[in-house]
Structure 1
Amino acid sequence: MRFLGNFVHAIDGLNDWIGRGIAWLVIPMVVITFLVATLRYGFAVGWVSMQESYMWLYGIMFMVGAGYTLLHGGHVRVDVFYRPASARYKAWVDLFGSLFLMTPVLVMILMYSYPYVATSWHRLEGSHETGGLPGLFLYKSVILVFCVLMLLQGLSLAARSILVLAGHKEFEIKEEEHEGV
């Protein structure tokens, strides 16, 4: 059980650290979006690379931050039955959901996206738009990062659930941990 506890702390810490870091991408994304709108509608000037950059930043933020969002309970779920339930019931739901719903879907996404990303790397694919950003292959790699971080966080959630079911109350998810995401 000590191993599971250490695993939970390590993965939760990793995704928390990554999520807090990736959140800073909001600032350049907002600035670039403001500049794109101002230049385009105020001065009739636009650059494809600038337009792509804020979309790429949003995509990176969304995909890389998904594990952080799962850690803090920010993904959509039906809370009608979950929220008022006991810690053991929540642990069973989280264990089942992470092992039998989330993990197979993420493994399938990983399996089907890997050749797509590998082909992009082999070609050193860039933007399909004239004047677009080079390095589309790097951007596509974020799909794999998403899968790995979500899989790790899902396994952490499963391990946390096992610990709660084994009677380790310190691993119960507190409602205040899920606030403010």
Structure 2
Amino acid sequence: MLDAIVWFFTNIAMSFYNLFYALTHPGQWLSWVPYINQSLPETENKEALMRFIYYGASVELFFVILTTFLVVLAIGFWRNEFMWGCVRVLEGFANTVGRIAAWAGLLMVLQQIVIIFMQRIFAQAEISMGFGMAFSKDISWWAEELKLYNALVVALCVTYTFVQGGHVRVDLVYAKVSYSAKKVIDMVGSLLFMMPVAVLTWLYGWFFLWRHLVVPNPSASDALDKLMLKARALRWNIETIGFSPNGFNAYFLFKILLCLFTAMVFIHAMSFFMRSYLEWKEGPESDGKYLDKDLLGDEDAELAANIH
């Protein structure tokens, strides 16, 4: 038990150094990105990419994020205005991303209409789009690509829907308890359910993504030294396999969306904890304070949204 406590606080202390070192030495983990230290030898760029993969789901990154959250909380407990500012920024981020990504639903409908017309009325096997340089693909490719629009809405609108109160709550005791008890339930839920599930999903999704982008395949069980040895033979091998011969073949985009989804859920879990704490501390009069909710323009729709 004592060793675990020492390990925990050692990592908390080291997170300050790790964050400072990463910010002051970006070339060691970002030189593989175009226009960043491209004068370095190819071997060093491969090692930088492998470091990026390793630290993207590492204990070091977890404690950097955890320590940042704890520091923000400490300042917020001292100055509630600062915590409200963090809530407004994080909820604004979720709302902005969600409102933009929601347009993918309209694109999905319009593209489906085009596919039906081209396939059933004009009897065309391909659809070409673009100006000057046309992008031509089989109709089955465009039909399968509709899944990507659906994934965009699901992955990038999940926190926006949470902010708007659009998720359906399975309520057993929540509605019958006091206002303070509700806020305590929200705080406990964000810490014990949202954050751990987001972390576990990230650990799976991060390596699931990179195993379909590079070879040799990185593994979550590989130590940094082993990954550095793999870096010698590292090369890009982006997944381009579709479910059908002429179908959509960019399924690595779904894996990127999985990581974005997980990151946004974790970030909003922090925001939801801070909002719940502030509303618990300030009382019912602060319920929904600074909440940027969309107006539906229909009384029945507004009532249904409020019930959820």
Q: TM-score, normalised by structure 1?
A: 0.85
Q: Is the 8 A contact 2:91 2:268 kept in 1?
A: yes
- Aligned equivalent of 2:142: 50
- The ranges of structure 1 where at least 4 consecutive aligned residues each deviate by more than 6 angstroms after the TM superposition are none
Instruction: Report the Cα offset of residue 121 of structure 1.
Output: 2.3
- Give SS of 2:211's match: helix
Greater share of helix residues, 1 or 2? 1
1:125 aligns with 2:204: no
Kindly provide the amino acid, as one letter, of the partner of residue 108 in structure 2: M
Q: How does 1:35-114 map to 2 (within 5 A)?
A: 35-41=114-120, 47-79=139-171, 81-83=173-175, 85-114=177-206
Which structure's CA Rg is the greater one?
2
- Aligned equivalent of 1:149: 264
Distance, in Å, in 2 between the alignment partners of 1:166 and 1:99 is 18
Gaps of 5+ in 1: none
Overall identity of the aligned pairs, in %: 25
Per-residue CA distance 1:10-48 (angstroms, 9 max, x = gap): 110000111111111121100112233444455665622
Decide which of 90, 100, 103 is 1:24's aligned counterpart: 103
Larger RCO, structures 1/2 (Cα 8 Å, 6+ apart): 1
Kindly provide the amino acid, as one letter, of the partner of residue 138 in structure 1: L
- Aligned equivalent of 2:287: 172
Q: Is the 8 A contact 1:29 1:54 kept in 2?
A: yes
Kindly provide the amino acid, as one letter, of the partner of residue 15 in structure 1: A
Gaps of 5+ in 2: 1-79, 126-138, 215-236, 295-301
Kindly provide the amino acid, as one letter, of the partner of residue 99 in structure 2: R
Distance, in Å, in 2 between the alignment partners of 1:176 and 1:11 is 11
Distance, in Å, in 1 between the alignment partners of 2:288 and 2:182 is 9
1:13 aligns with 2:92: yes
Instruction: Report the Cα offset of residue 79 of structure 1.
Output: 3.8
Q: How many corresponding residue pairs?
A: 181
Kindly provide the amino acid, as one letter, of the partner of residue 164 in structure 2: H
